[in-house]
Amino acid sequence: MARFLDTSSDDFEPAFAGFLAARRDSEVDADADAAAIVADVRARGIDAVLELTRRFDRIDLTADTVTFSEDEIDAAIAEVPEAERAALELAAARIRAYHERQLPEDAWWTDEAGIGLGWRWTPVDAAGLYVPGGLASYPSSLLMNAVPARVAGVRRLVICAPTPDGKANPLVLLAARLAGVDAVYRIGGAQAIAALAYGAGPIAPVDKITGPGNAWVAAAKRHVFGQVGIDMIAGPSEVVVIADADNDPAWTAMDLMAQAEHDAAAQSILITTDAGFGREAASAVDRLLQSLERTEIAGASWRDHGAVIVVRDLDEAAAITDRLAPEHLQLCVADPEALSRKVRHAGAIFLGRHTPEAIGDYVAGPNHVLPTSRSARFSSGLSVLDFMKRTTLTQVSREGLAAIGPAGETLAFSEGLEAHGLSIRHRMAGE
């Protein structure tokens, strides 16, 4: 049973503070293992990758077979049922259309001193995307990572998708084809992250690595950061649902369990202005857990990390939400737009009773790679901008240098940087 909290109770603040502080990350300490694997791949390249793949994925590859061939991809795609193919095509089209609107514009202007200023956006040359294997093999995640990269203009786009026991997910390969991926490598784990960062045989190094993974993948991303860019170190998934009494408790229960079934460490929180509705929704969760296929996972998540929080009004609901800074936020209230404007910290907001977070995981269009563990306080979800960088532009004429140069010279000498000051002074003097 999830915990119940009420903001009107005298012990709410300490109880809520304890709830916020509770750890949900994996108990597995993968850092040392990941560091050793990264070092091994950096030193031995493809030999280390192949050896580790045999050990962990039970598949014997060579440098020639580490990459899926086009024929293999064609054969796998042919197995995809038509309904699933059409759904994935719709998702890819909607994700692409949304992210095309994110493309930033270059700028150039001349200010009052006659100085030309601006910026220019350019994509990274190469990106590597990680797609988990096994039970967590999600083609939707591939689209959410690969499509923005392609929209950004990334020239080379590759994927690491482990195939334990040699089993590939045809939907993942179809998603790779739809997104325009250049190569799919059948490797995973920390060794795949290291291969993308440093190169290994046929796997050329990339500039940016994105995509979810287990504790070892996350640790490996920490270790290669700086050699390459990374998206984020994501924690367990989470949702906050703000719902008033005019909702169907069964719908709310489904929304809560849609996050809980991801992972036993996931978190589902209901915030409501009606204590009776909160109890009804919790009872609906109990009934739903009797029939869910992933009931053990969802039940553990709800029992250990779930909560029902009763608030006085929606203003207080917004304030509590900002303290939670959730990955996903559903606003199941009469005026969701008004309430959304009161929330400052959330990775993604879903407005209205007919907008379940689950629709955002697949076909709505916005990215579902979002900040977790309260990091929405200072970060955003994956976007086209994650695959681009901004270069500033400056052009100073002789007249412009005369206007702003003396101030620059003064500041340079005041900081004790003589060569800086001389660089400006001699240009102003024409020497």
Tell me: the pLDDT tens digits for 284-325? Answer: 999 999 999 999 999 999 999 999 999 999 999 999 999 999
Closest CA to 66 of 79, 76, 53: 53
| Superfamily of domain 31-77+123-230 in the CATH hierarchy | Nitrogenase molybdenum iron protein domain (3.40.50.1980)
Using a 10 angstrom Cβ sphere, with 0-12 exposed, 13-18 middle and 19 or more buried, the burial of residue 84 is: middle
Q: Which two tokens stand for residue 424?
A: 């400006």
pTM of the model as a whole: 0.93
Q: Where are the beta strands (DSSP E) in 197-327?
A: 208-210, 229-230, 238-243, 267-272, 307-310
What pLDDT was estimated at residue 23? 75
Closest CA to 373 of 20, 15, 12, 28: 20
Q: Catalytic: which of 261, 327, 357, 409?
A: 327
**H or E segment and range at residue 107:** strand 107-110
Instruction: Give the residues of the chain that fall short of pLDDT 70.
Output: 25-28, 134-136, 431
Residue 328 annotated among the catalytic residues of the structure:
yes
Q: How many CB atoms lie within 10 A of CB 32?
A: 9
* Token pair 């193919």: residue: 85
Residue range 3-25+235-364, CATH number: 3.40.50.1980
CATH 3.40.50.1980 intervals, the chain? 3-25+235-364, 31-77+123-230
pLDDT digits 0-9 by tens, 19-29: 998 877 655 67
* Degrees, nearest 5: CA angle 243-245-248: 80
In the chain, DSSP finds a helix count (H) and a strand count (E) of 17, 14
What pLDDT was estimated at residue 55? 96
What pLDDT was estimated at residue 134? 63
The rounded distance, in Å, linking the Cα atoms of 155 and 157 is 7
Q: How many CB atoms lie within 10 A of CB 123?
A: 19
Q: Catalytic: which of 328, 357, 368, 409?
A: 328
Which DSSP string corresponds to 226-254? Answer: TTBEE-----S-EEEEEE-TTS-HHHHHH
**H or E segment and range at residue 348:** strand 348-351
Return the DSSP state at 64: T
What pLDDT was estimated at residue 28? 64
- Counting every residue written for the chain, the total comes to 431
What pLDDT was estimated at residue 232? 86
